[in-house]
Amino acid sequence: MNPKVMIILGSASDLKIAQKATDVFDTLEIPYSLKIASAHRTHEKVKNLVEIGTSKGVEVFMGMAGLAAHLPGAIAAYTHRPVIGVPIDFKIGGLDALCASVEMPFPAPVATVGIDRGDNAAILAGQIIGINNSEVKEKVSELRKTYRQKVKDDDEKVNNEFKGKFFQKDFLTGFDVIDEEVSSISPEKNTPLVSIIAGSYSDMEEARKTALILERLGISYDISVVSPSKNPSEFKEYMEKMKDAKLFIAVTGLSAHVSGSIIALTEKPVIGVPRSVELNGLDSLLSIANMPPGVPAATVGIENGRNGGVLAGEILGISDKNIEKKLKQLKNEAADM
């Protein structure tokens, strides 16, 4: 059996973070391979691993590295499959590795997750593979339920053990029930493959850059401005209508609640495009990428909506030869510019 995922580590010291991913893959029953190769010291080995892996049917690549974490980008140079980057904390809290992984030029995106979040990288890979594999999709859903249950268990434990003098334990009831009922809101007829959600009208310029790439790749999409913080009921209604979309792209600045709110309401892959409104976009980047365990965001570079579109094409091109063909053409054209 050929692996669905190839994990490449920059060094053996990254193995502890890799095991977070492999534990998830074992749970999801996704076959994977694990290799060590350096983007700087054994570049030819990286090239050979990726090119041969792609030809053998690897659907998702994963690069884990710290410091000047160029490994995920080196992987992205040699494949049209999605590449997930896991920045590892060796210095300055891993911020150097995060920026090296996420800030890739067009058209070579790296779907970067949070620092040291090998577990989220594996869940993201499972979401991507699950688009075309119902068994994996169901296993990802079951895994996410365990994360929700942990929150519930922790809440009960704290409430049972906390001893504050004026602490009121049981004044609320019925608030911790997960609604499993089918929503009365019907999904959109002929739901597009991709939903692009901008957090505000000021985000639309970048969102349109994403849409233009999807146009070139022949990928159907919806593009809307919906704010989960300003109009949460409208946001939830929109998500219900788009429930049959294959993936979501959030384009948002500041504290970037849009991406997190989408992730809370779907188990499909979510691509985050941070925008520069304050702090040169660093607030938005960190808000999107550094998600807690169980809820990954595939983050691309600040104001690089075009890479968000390319990443969507890489994900959907796994099972669609027409998209794959157009994606390769787009990448070749960009390489000649």
Q: Please give the residue range of the domain that contains residue 275.
A: 194-335
**For residues 163 and 149, what is the distance between their CA atoms, to the nearest angstrom?**
24
- Residue 151, domain member (yes or no): no
Is 22 inside any structural domain? yes
Asked if residue 187 belongs to a domain, the reply is no
Residue 224 lies in a domain: yes
234 and 114 in a common domain: no
- Is 20 in the same domain as 124? yes
Instruction: Answer yes or no: is 161 within a domain.
Output: no
* Domain assignment of residue 160, yes or no: no
* 124 and 210 both lie in a single domain: no
Q: Are residues 198 and 320 in the same domain?
A: yes
Q: Which pLDDT score, from 0 to 100, does residue 181 have?
A: 44
Both 201 and 331 in one domain: the answer is: yes
Residue 136 makes CB contacts below 8 A (sequence gap 6+) with 28, 29, 30, 126, 129, 130
| 116 and 223 both lie in a single domain | no
36 and 120: one domain? yes
pLDDT at 337: 57
* pLDDT tens digits, 57-96: 999 999 999 988 999 999 999 999 999 999 999 989 999 9
Q: Which of 106, 130, 154 is the last residue of a domain?
A: 130
Residue where a domain stops, chosen among 90, 112, 130: 130
- Kindly list the distances between the CA atom of residue 239 and the CA atoms of 143, 183, 206, 222, 242, in Å, as whole numbers in the listed order: 21, 11, 21, 12, 5
For the question of whether the overall pTM of this predicted structure is more than 0.85, the answer is yes
Secondary structure of the chain in HEC code, one letter for each residue = CCCCEEEEECCHHHHHHHHHHHHHHHHHCCCEEEEECCCCCCHHHHHHHHHHHHHCCCCEEEEEEECCCCHHHHHHCCCCCCEEEEEECCCHHHHHHHHHHHCCCCCCCCEECCCCCHHHHHHHHHHHHHCCCHHHHHHHHHHHHHHHHHHHHHHHHHHHHCCCCCCCCCCCCCCCCCCCCCCCCCCCCCCCCEEEEECCHHHHHHHHHHHHHHHHHCCCEEEEECCCCCCHHHHHHHHHHCCCCCEEEEEECCCCHHHHHHHHHCCCCEEEEECCCCHHHHHHHHHHHCCCCCCCCEECCCCCHHHHHHHHHHHHCCCCHHHHHHHHHHHHHHHCC
Q: Give the integer Cα–Cα distance in Å for 279 and 25.
A: 36
- At residue 162, the pLDDT reads 87
Span 190-213, average pLDDT: 96
Q: Are residues 331 and 199 in the same domain?
A: yes
User: Looking at the predicted structure, is the pLDDT value of residue 186 above 90?
Assistant: no
Q: Is residue 178 part of a domain?
A: no
Q: List Cβ neighbours of 156 (8 Å cut-off, separation of 6 or more).
A: none
**Which of 90, 115, 130 is the endpoint of a domain?**
130
Arithmetic mean of pLDDT over the chain: 93
CA distance between the termini of the chain: 39
Residue 183, pLDDT above cutoff 60: no
Condensed to tens digits (0 to 9), the pLDDT of residues 262-299 reads 999 999 999 999 999 989 999 999 999 999 999 999 99
Same domain flag for 202 and 320 = yes
Stretch 104-113: mean pLDDT: 97
**Same domain, yes or no: 99 and 212:** no
Over the stretch 129-144, which tens digit does the pLDDT of each residue have? 999 999 999 999 999 9
What's the pLDDT score for residue 4?
97
Same domain for 300 and 218, yes or no, is yes
Percentage, residues of the chain above pLDDT 90: 81
Q: What is the CATH number of the domain that holds 224?
A: 3.40.50.1970
Task: Give mean pLDDT, residues 108-114.
Answer: 98
210, 316: one domain: yes
The predicted-structure confidence for 224-268, as pLDDT tens digits, reads as follows 999 999 999 999 999 999 999 999 999 999 877 899 999 999 999
177 occurs within a structural domain? no
CB distance 66 to 14 below 8 Å: yes
**Count: domains in the chain:** 2
